Amino acid sequence: MNDTPLRYRPHHFLCSLGFEGKGYSPEFTTNMTAIVMGRLRAARGDEVVIEVVEDTDDICTPCPSRRGTACGSGYHINQLDAAHAAALGLKPGDKLTWGEARERMRALPDNALSEICAPCQWLAFGMCTAALGRLKSGT
């Protein structure tokens, strides 16, 4: 078992909830699958500790937009992070379990994604909206 906390930008909490095996590159998708399916959705995944960070995180590692510890889509990503941090009550340095993160996501208003995820290219696919709906309904 890996006890090292995951490092997450604020918007990656909802990305992980809605992840369905698609990504920006094969390497990105493989990494995200290992994190989401292998650690978060695995047995006892609710106990995985996540640390909130401001710069690139464990999901960003193989992203084709990564530029050192920054993102090539910096302004856009910073907007997403600010909106998600406010909505989920997160700040850099916070540590919470995946179970605690799921409870914060469950508490989001039903229309929250249309606002906090507005600039995200993945919103139109409906994966995150469907996943949040399942979380809220307990299915």
The pLDDT tens digits of the residues spanning 10-31 come to: 999 999 999 998 887 888 899 9
- The structure tokens 């960003």 sit at 60
126 assigned to some structural domain: yes
**pLDDT at position 60:** 76
pLDDT greater than 70 at residue 101: yes
**pLDDT at position 104:** 97
**pLDDT at position 87:** 97
pLDDT greater than 60 at residue 1: no
Categorise residue 126: left if φ over 0, alpha if ψ from -120 to 50, beta otherwise.
left
96 assigned to some structural domain: yes
91 assigned to some structural domain: yes
**pLDDT at position 19:** 92
The pLDDT tens digits of the residues spanning 127-139 come to: 999 999 999 998 7
pTM of the model: 0.89
> How far apart are alpha carbons 122 and 71 in whole angstroms?
17
Domain containing residue 73: 6-137
81 assigned to some structural domain: yes
The pLDDT tens digits of the residues spanning 33-68 come to: 999 999 998 866 788 999 999 888 888 776 666 677
The pLDDT tens digits of the residues spanning 68-98 come to: 766 666 667 889 999 999 999 999 999 999 9
**pLDDT at position 61:** 77
What is the Cα 47 distance to its own chain's centre?
16
**pLDDT at position 115:** 93
> How far apart are alpha carbons 50 and 12 in whole angstroms?
11
Count how many domains the chain has: 1
1 assigned to some structural domain: no
26 assigned to some structural domain: yes
**pLDDT at position 66:** 63
79 phi and psi, to 5 degrees?
-65, -45
